[in-house]
Structure 1
């Protein structure tokens, strides 16, 4: 199963730290998964201008192709000004409308305030649903106080990340089995 983790910001360290830990847990718990991490701070993405995703070149084509080829996405996002960052929104804008169809997606959120807890529900989940993703019901919300010197110091956060990875992979495996049963109904 192909899993792509996306660290959805070009600045800051908390989302990058959270995604590194999430992907570490994934690789440790599911060594057969083909895991890749895309850090938006380390790629040079073009701004979406309406072209087909295959018409872009360089990092933009690499990122969009990796997402399109994935079975599972784990999206990490900070909350800036009570919203997801424009760099992450741009990734969605680069993709076709049904790009996330038959993909299982889960969310890791980092924020400076507990007041931003529902941003993932109000802004990110509708985008993912519109793009036909099979979105995990649970997400992990990590506050500023849970970090110290670019490390997660709250044991509960580690536990929640472990559960998120397990729930995501179980959902993905179950969903793939359901799709296979549906495909098996046809003779061609």
Structure 2
């Protein structure tokens, strides 16, 4: 199985590191899982204008195809103005309606305010469900206070445990889908 993590942040390291922590946790649970991190900061994703995918640049084409070829996915986004990042929303606008059918789609978000802990439930989960993705029950909200200020490493034990449980649930659900 291949698990692809997508970091939808164009600034800072926290979201990318959090998504990578899910990939590492999954790999520790099952060493046969292949993982890949797509950090949107490293790609020139074109603005979605509703054109066929073939009309977009190579980076856009490459990222979309990596995501489509994955068995399951974990999406990470910072919370900006009580919503997901524009970069992640733009990327999602490039996919066809059934893009995530039979794929588990986990969620990890980072934010400055605890008031935004429901953003994944009300902003990202409906979009992933629209694409027919199976969203686990255990998405992870990570307040910025849970990171070490110098290294951006997660220092909150509860958050680390929730990331571990998300990885476990994702693997369990994806195996169930694959074995149906």
Normalising by structure 2, we get a TM-score of 0.95
- The aligned counterpart of 2:169 is 167
Equivalent pair of 2:4/2:74 in contact (CA under 8 Å) = yes
Larger radius of gyration: 1
Alpha-carbon deviation of 1:144?
Answer: 1.1
Instruction: Give the Cα separation in 2 of the matches to 1:120 and 1:139.
Output: 7
> Aligned with 2:24: secondary structure?
helix
Q: Which residues of 2 match residues 132-171 of structure 1 at below 5 A?
A: 132-148=132-148, 149=150, 150-171=152-173
Q: Which residues of 2 match residues 67-86 of structure 1 at below 5 A?
A: 67-86=67-86
Instruction: Give the Cα separation in 2 of the matches to 1:125 and 1:45.
Output: 22
RMSD: 1.1
Alpha-carbon deviation of 1:2?
Answer: 1.4
Tell me which stretches of 4 or more aligned residues in structure 1 moved more than 3 Å. Answer: none
Structure 2: runs of 5+ lacking an equivalent: none
- The aligned counterpart of 1:111 is 111
Alpha-carbon deviation of 1:131?
Answer: 0.9
Instruction: Give the Cα separation in 2 of the matches to 1:33 and 1:110.
Output: 25
Alpha-carbon deviation of 1:26?
Answer: 1.8
Matched residues, number: 178
- The aligned counterpart of 1:47 is 47
Instruction: Give the Cα separation in 2 of the matches to 1:100 and 1:122.
Output: 18
Equivalent pair of 2:3/2:23 in contact (CA under 8 Å) = no
